[in-house]
Structure 1
Amino acid sequence: MKKKLLYAFCMIGLLTLSTALTSKTNHEDKSWIRINLLGYKPDGIKVAVWATKSDYIPQRFELVDKNTGKTVYTSSKIKTFGKYGPFSHSARLNFSDFKTPGRYFLKAGNIISPEIIINKDVYKGAADFTLRYMQQQRCGFNPVLKDSCHTHDGFMVYGAKGGLKDSTHFDAVGGWHDASDYLQYSTTTANAAYHLLMAYRDFPLAFQDIKQANGLDGKNNIPDVLDEAKWGLEWMVKMHPKRNIMFNQLADDRDHISMRIPKEDNQYGKGFERPLYFIDGEKQQRGKFLNDTKGTSSTAAKFTSAFSLGSTLFKDIDPGFSTKLSEKSASAYQYANIKKGVTQTVSVKSPYIYAEDNWVDDMQLALANLGLKASAAEKKNYLDSAFYYAQQEKITPWLVNDTAAHYQWYPFINLGHYELAKQSEGNRKQQLIGFYKQGIEHVWNRAKENAFYRGIPFIWCSNNLTVSFAIQCFWYNKISGDDTFSELEQANFDWIFGCNPWGTSMVYGLPSWGDTPKNPHSAFTHLGGYPIDGGLVDGPVYTSIFKGLIGIQLTKDDEYADFQSDLAVYHDDYGDYSTNEPTMDGTASLIYLLAAQDQKVKTESVYGAITRGDVNDKKLAIVFTGDEFADGGETIQKVLQQHKVQASFFLTGNFYRNPKYATLIKKLKTSGHYLGPHSDRHLLYNDWKNRDSMLVSRTEFDRDLNANYAEMKKFGIERKNAQYFLPPYEWYNQEVASWTKEQGLQLINFTHGTRSNADYTYPEMGKSYVNSNDIMQSILNYEQKNANGLNGYILLLHIGTDQRRKDKFYNKLPNLLQYLKAKGYKPVTINQLLSPAN
C-alpha cells in the first residue's frame, strides 16, 4: 500500500513538474515586455507593453532596482487588450507615478524587461546625435566621406514650357541626398530645412556647436543645427536661381540602377551631370510613367516658408544671407501663385513617386510665415488668407482615412495650423486648435483598441507619420493647454524607440546600448561600412504592401520572424528597402521631436531658484518687488487694470506693515494680482563677493521669512496660496534655495538678459545708473534677438524707487504692455507661469 501511495505521489510530482515545464514553454518563452529603450523622464508618462502568444496576463508587476536587485515599486495598473499583430494578448503596464531616477527593469511573472532608465536628462544630446545623419546625407562636400560628389549638377529639363532652353546648365551642387539613394527633392529638402529651423527656434538649448559649417570637427560659434539648415537653404536658393525658374528635383529613379558610393553617378547621358526638373505646373513624363502635377504651389510654398523662417533666424548671424532669403521668400510665393495646385515628382523606370496630393496646407504655412514679418497693415491680409487655406484642409486626410499613397499628404501633418494659431486669438485660434483635435481623435479612436496605442497606418514610411503625429499631439497640448492626448503622444514616441512588437529602436545607433538597426538599406553601411548614426528608418509596413513591392529579397535569416504577422512586417535587412531604409526628411522631423523631448523641462533654474518658465510658451510674468518705496504703486495698479493684465508683487514685511501702503495692497489683492514674500526685513543673506559665504543663520532666515508671512496673513494672504519666494536683493545661493525648499516653498529669481531690474538706480550711483530708455531698449533687443524671445520670462521691476531717480520706468509700463501684446505675449502671474494648472 505504501509503495502504491509513494508511486502515486511520484506521479503527481512528475505531472506537476511537467505542467510547470509546459507552463514555462507556453508563457515564459512566448511573452515579452516592450519599453522605450532610450528611457523615461521622472515626471513623464511611463508605460511598458506586455505582449504574449500565450493566454497569460499578469495581475501585477514590479520595478526592480538594477544595482540592488530590490523591488522598489509594485503596481496593478494594468490595462488589458486582446490580439494585436503576432500576439494573442497584450497589456499596458503604467508606472508613471514612480519618479525616482535610476536604472531598473520591469518584472511581470517571470518575464523581465530590458533595462529601464529614468532620468531627467535621458534625452539630452539625442537631437544632436540624430543630426549626424543629416550631415552624412550632404551632397557636394560630404564630411563623413571627406570627399565630394555630384559636383557637375545639373542640366535643365522641361524648361521649354517656361520659355527656357533645355539642357542649360545650372549650378545645383549641394543639399542632401533624399534617402539611401542619391535623388534630391525640393519638397523634402524644404520640409527638412523648416523642421531644423523650427527645432532651433523652439528649443535652442538642445543643440551644441561642435562642427564647422562644412560638417568637419571644430566650432564656428553657430549651433550645428543652424549650420545644417543653412546647407539645405543654400541648395534651395540654387533650385530657385531666378524669379521665373524653380526646380522640383535633381536626378530621378535611374539612380536606383545599383548600389554605389555617391561620387560614382554617371547614368543620365551627360557624364556626371544630372537632370534638373523645371516646375511648369504641368504633368511630366520621362518614361512610361506620368505624374499628376496640377500646379506650382506645393513646392514653391514650402520654399517660401523655409526661406522666410531662415531669414529671421540668420538675421544677426549672417545678415547678407538673411536678406537673400527674404528676397527668395517673396519670389517663391509669387511662383506658388503662377498656377494653384500640386507639383509631383517624376519617375522614369519605376511607378514609385512622391505622389503629393495636397497644397493648401503649404500655402497656409507660407502665409503664416509671411504674416510674421509683414507690416501691421499687411499682416491682417496675410493671416486672413492663411486661415482661408486652413479651412480648405482642416484635417490632414490620412488621419481620417487611415491610408495614403506614398507621400500623398505631405508634410504628414499640417504645420500651418500651429504657426497660424500662435498668431491668432479668440474664435479663430479655437477653430485651429479644434482642427488638430479632430485629427488626433480619429487616430485615437483606432489607437485605443490596442496596447501599443497604435493608430498610425502601416504605409510606406510609417515612422515618418509616427513622428509627425507625435509632433501634432505636442503642438495641440502647447496651444490648447489640454493634455488629454499626452499618453497617446508618448506612446508614439515610445514606439520609435522600442515599444513596438519587434522590440527594436527604429533609429540607427540610438540608444547605443539597445537593439537598433544594424543592417539598413544603405550603400554607406553595405559598401563602406560607415555607421549611419541617427538615421530614422522607414518603419513597418502592412504585410500586403510588402508582398506587392518590386525587387525586395531578404539577405539573411529574419531575426524578427517571431514578431511578423498578417498585419505588418519589419526587417533589419539590407534587402528590404521598404522598412529599413533611412530617410532624410523623416530624420529631420525626429530632430525636432527629440529637441522638444529634451526641453520638456518646463523651467530653467540657477542655484536652485527657478529663473524662467516654459521657453516654448508665449507667456511671461511681470514681477514687482518692494520694500521701502511705493511711489509707482497707484500708477502701476491703474495701468495693469486698463490693460487687463495680472502681475506678481513680492513685498517685504516692512512694506506690508507700512500703513501708507495698506490701501494699495488691498487693491492689488482684489484685482487678482499675485502677492508673495520678499523677506521681512530685506536682509542680505550672503556676501556679494563670496556668494557661498552666508551672512545669516538658518534660524535667522526662518524667523525672518515666517515674519514676512505673518504680515501677509493680516491681508488674508495665506501661505499655501503664496508658495513662491523671491529673495531680497535678488541675491542668494544654493543653501538659501535648500532652506526655502525645506520650508515647503520654491525660490524664484528674475530671468537675466535685460536691464529691467536696474529701474531702481539713480544718477548719483555713477556707472550703475541706467536710464529708462536704455532699459526699454534692452528689453526690446532681447526679445528680437533671442530665438525664444521673452517666452517664459520673469521680468523684474520695482514698485517704487528712491526720489533721486526722476525718470521712473513704471511710466513706460503702458508702452511695454502694448509692445508685448503686439508681439503675441500673454503676461500672467508667477504661479500661472510656473504651475499652469493653477
Structure 2
Amino acid sequence: MNKIFMNQVGYLPGSVKRAVLNFPAEDFRVVDENGDTAYEGKTRHFGNDDISGEDTYVADFTILSEAGSYRLEAGDVKGPEFKVGYACFDKLKRDICKCFYYLRCGDALARRYAGEYYHEPCHMSKATVYGEDVEPVDVTGGWHDAGDYGRYSTAGAVAVAHLLYAVRFFPNILDLEFDIPKEKCDNGQLPDLLAEVKVELDFLMKMQRENGSVWHKVTTFNHADFIMPEDDKNELFLFPVSSLATADIAAVFALASGIYKDYDKAYADKLMERALLAYDWLRENPKEVLFRNAEGSNTGEYPEAEDYSNRYWAACSLYETTSEGCYYQDAMEQKAKLEAFNKVATMKLYQGDVMTCLGWGDDGGLGGLSLILKKEDNALTLAARESFVNEAKRLVANGEKNGFNLCMERKDFIWGSNMELLKYMMVLTVANLINKDEAFEDAIVAGLDYLLGCNSMDVSYVTGNGEKAFKNPHLRPTAVDDIEEPWPGLVSGGPNIGLQDEKAQTIPKDSAAMKCYLDDVACYSLNEITIYWNSPLVFVMAGLK
C-alpha cells in the first residue's frame, strides 16, 4: 500500500523536516489547512531499506518554517496532518510528564487531576518481607512500573534519574506545568516535575532498610490478572536486597539531593544521608549481590549480570555532588571492572559503548552524565565526554544506512526498542552539548520523527499524540477501565524482532525489524509501557531546540 510516513505531531520552525514515501513519486507538495500549496519539492530515492523493508523515497521540506497546520501530498496519496511552530510539542511534553501521575500507586490519585482515569486507592497494605520472620513493612506510594502493578527499585531509580538529569542539563523543564497536585516547599511550591519525582523518591526511601541496603522490588508473588489496581488484593512481598538496587538508590538520592536543596533543605539533607548510608553498605559488602526471582514467582525480575556499572554510577554521582576524592577513586576502580567485564561478556544489554548506556540494565552512561556535569578536566570526565561524542558519531553513521535517517540497526529492535532509541537520542543530545554538530541534531530529529509516525508501521508510538497514535497498550488499567482511549502520553515498547509473546508470533519471523509490531493489548513484548520508556523522552524533549 502506498503511504507517506512522517511525524504526525509537528516540527520546530528551524528543524530538519523530512517525510519518507514507500512508492515512486518525483514530486511532492505541502498544503496548508486551506488546501493552498505552501511548498513544492522533489523527492530523493534512497533505495531499499533493510530495517524498514521499504523501497524509500525522501521528501525534504526543511525550508517550510511558517507556523500552521499542514499535510504532505504526493500524487493521490495524502499524509497525516502535522503542525509547524514553536508550540507544536507543548501538549506532547505535558502528556509524557503527566503519565507518571496516572501511574501513581497508593491513595494519591484525585478526580480533579485524573478525571475519567481516576481509580480508587490501591496496594495500601503492608508488605511481607519474603523469606524473613519480621514485621510487615509499609512501602506504599511510588509509581506502578509498567503494564503490571509491580514497583521495582532499579527501574524506579533509573526513571527518576532520567528526569533529574533533564533538570540538571535543561533547567527550563521546571517551567512546565502539567496539572498535578501542588507540593509545598521552603520557597512556596515545588515545580510540577519535582513534585511528581518526589512521589517516587519517597517510595524509594521506604525500600531502604535501616542498614542502608535496598529491597530489589515489591510485588505480589505473581502478576495480577487484568483488573483495576484497587481490585488487586493479593499479598505484597518485599523481595531480597541487591547491590544493584542499593547502588542505584545511592546514586539517585545523591543526584536528587543536589537539586532539592534549592527548594527544601531538610529533604535534600535526608536524601544525602540516605545516599551515604547506601554507599556505606556497598563498601561493607564489596561482593556483588545480584537478584533472581523466587522460585514460582513471575513478576518482573530486572536481573543484571554484574553490579560494576551500578557502583560506578553511585561513585560518580557522589563525586559530582561532594567533590570528595574517595568517590573519584572508587569510580576509577569500578570503571576498570566494568570495561574488563564487557570485553568478555557474551550477553550485552546495550549494543553501543557501555559507558554511554542509560538504562536499568547498564548504568555506565548515568555515571557519565554526572561526570559531564562536573565540568572538570580529569581522566574520568574527559573519558566520559569522549565516550558520548564517539557514540554519537556511531549513531549518526547508523542513520546514513537507511532512508529514515534512524540511528538504529536491526539488532537494536529488541524488547523495548523505543527505549533503545530514546537512550541513543539522550546520548546524541548530550554529545551535542559537548561538541555541537548539525549531524547530531539531525539524528535527534529523525529519532523523534520515527517515534511520532515516520516509521513503516505508520503509527505514532505515543498515545494521544498524532493522527494515528497507538491505542491498545499492554497496561491493565487502560485495558479494563471501560474508557475507549488510553490516557495520553504513554510510550509503547515498539517493534521487537524477538516476538516473545503468543500474539506477536503471528507476525512472520522474517519481517523487517520496523514491522515487528502490533497495536494489541496482548502483545506484552511489543506494546507494553513503563516508566523508564517515558522518562528518556522527557529528557530528549527538554533538550530539543
Which TM class, normalised by the smaller chain length?
0.7 to 0.9
**1:62 & 1:51 partners in 2: Cα distance?**
16
Matches within 5 A, 1:720-731: none
1:11-42 deviations in Å (ceiling 9; x for gaps) = xxxxxxxxxxxxxxxxxxx2211111111001
Q: 1:399 to 1:109 in 2, by over 3 A?
A: farther
Task: Give the SS at the match of 1:534.
Answer: coil
Which residue among 173, 183, 189 is the counterpart of 1:221? 189
**1:359 & 1:245 partners in 2: Cα distance?**
14
Looking at CA atoms only, which structure, 1 or 2, has the larger radius of gyration? 1
Matches within 5 A, 1:239-258: 239-252=207-220, 254-256=222-224, 258=225
2:384 alignment partner in structure 1: 432
Contact 1:63 1:74 in 2 (8 A): yes
**2:439 & 2:124 partners in 1: Cα distance?**
51
1:283-311 deviations in Å (ceiling 9; x for gaps) = xxxxxxxxxxxxx1x22221112111222
2:490 alignment partner in structure 1: 535
Task: Give the SS at the match of 2:19.
Answer: strand
Contact 2:413 2:495 in 1 (8 A): yes
| Residue 483 (structure 1) shift | 3.5
1:397-417 deviations in Å (ceiling 9; x for gaps) = 5554799xxx99625771222
Q: 1:86 to 1:470 in 2, by over 3 A?
A: closer
| Residue 505 (structure 1) shift | 1.0
1:263 aligns with 2:230: yes
Q: 1:76 to 1:565 in 2, by over 3 A?
A: same
Which amino acid in structure 2 is aligned with residue 166 of structure 1? Answer: D
Which amino acid in structure 1 is aligned with residue 70 of structure 2? Answer: Y
**1:231 & 1:317 partners in 2: Cα distance?**
15
Contact 2:313 2:364 in 1 (8 A): no
Which amino acid in structure 2 is aligned with residue 582 of structure 1? Answer: I
Contact 1:342 1:356 in 2 (8 A): no
Which amino acid in structure 2 is aligned with residue 592 of structure 1? Answer: F
2:536 alignment partner in structure 1: 589
1:418 aligns with 2:363: no
Which amino acid in structure 1 is aligned with residue 64 of structure 2? Answer: F
| Residue 350 (structure 1) shift | 4.4
2:328 alignment partner in structure 1: 383
1:775-809 deviations in Å (ceiling 9; x for gaps) = xxxxxxxxxxxxxxxxxxxxxxxxxxxxxxxxxxx
1:155 alignment partner in structure 2: 128
**2:145 & 2:270 partners in 1: Cα distance?**
25
Matches within 5 A, 1:410-489: 410-411=361-362, 414-423=365-374, 424-425=376-377, 429-454=381-406, 455-456=408-409, 457-489=412-444
Matches within 5 A, 1:60-99: 60-70=27-37, 72-76=38-42, 78-84=44-50, 87-99=53-65
**Number of aligned residues:** 516
1:199 alignment partner in structure 2: 166
**2:441 & 2:39 partners in 1: Cα distance?**
23
**2:20 & 2:425 partners in 1: Cα distance?**
18
1:566-587 deviations in Å (ceiling 9; x for gaps) = 5442111122112122112211
Which amino acid in structure 1 is aligned with residue 11 of structure 2? Answer: Y
| Residue 381 (structure 1) shift | 3.9
**1:596 & 1:86 partners in 2: Cα distance?**
28
**1:426 & 1:323 partners in 2: Cα distance?**
28
What percent identity do the matched residue pairs reach? 25
1:31-65 deviations in Å (ceiling 9; x for gaps) = 2111111110011121211124xxx3x33432233
Q: 1:326 to 1:569 in 2, by over 3 A?
A: same
Q: 1:209 to 1:350 in 2, by over 3 A?
A: closer
Task: Give the SS at the match of 1:82.
Answer: strand
- TM-score, structure 1 length as denominator? 0.57
Task: Give the SS at the match of 1:535.
Answer: coil
Q: 1:447 to 1:336 in 2, by over 3 A?
A: farther
1:357 aligns with 2:305: yes
1:173 alignment partner in structure 2: 140
Per chain length, whose mean CA-contact separation is higher, i.e. which structure has more relative contact order (CA < 8 Å, sep 6+)? 2
Contact 1:564 1:570 in 2 (8 A): no
Q: 1:437 to 1:209 in 2, by over 3 A?
A: closer
**1:579 & 1:412 partners in 2: Cα distance?**
24
Which amino acid in structure 1 is aligned with residue 123 of structure 2? Answer: H
1:652 alignment partner in structure 2: none
1:113-170 deviations in Å (ceiling 9; x for gaps) = 2123111121224322212211111111141435211111311124xxxxxx435311
Contact 1:86 1:562 in 2 (8 A): no
2:525 alignment partner in structure 1: 578
Q: 1:460 to 1:587 in 2, by over 3 A?
A: same
**1:309 & 1:471 partners in 2: Cα distance?**
18
Aligned Cα RMSD in Å? 3.2
Task: Give the SS at the match of 2:286.
Answer: coil
Which amino acid in structure 1 is aligned with residue 305 of structure 2? Answer: D
Contact 1:40 1:118 in 2 (8 A): yes
Which residue among 190, 193, 208 is the counterpart of 2:177? 208
Q: 1:178 to 1:209 in 2, by over 3 A?
A: closer
Which residue among 276, 279, 287 is the counterpart of 2:238? 276
Matches within 5 A, 1:690-769: none
| Residue 592 (structure 1) shift | 1.9
1:570-610 deviations in Å (ceiling 9; x for gaps) = 1111221121221122112222222222xx2xxxxxxxxxx
1:220-271 deviations in Å (ceiling 9; x for gaps) = 7222211111000001110003124420100156124x1111122344xxxx
| Residue 179 (structure 1) shift | 0.8
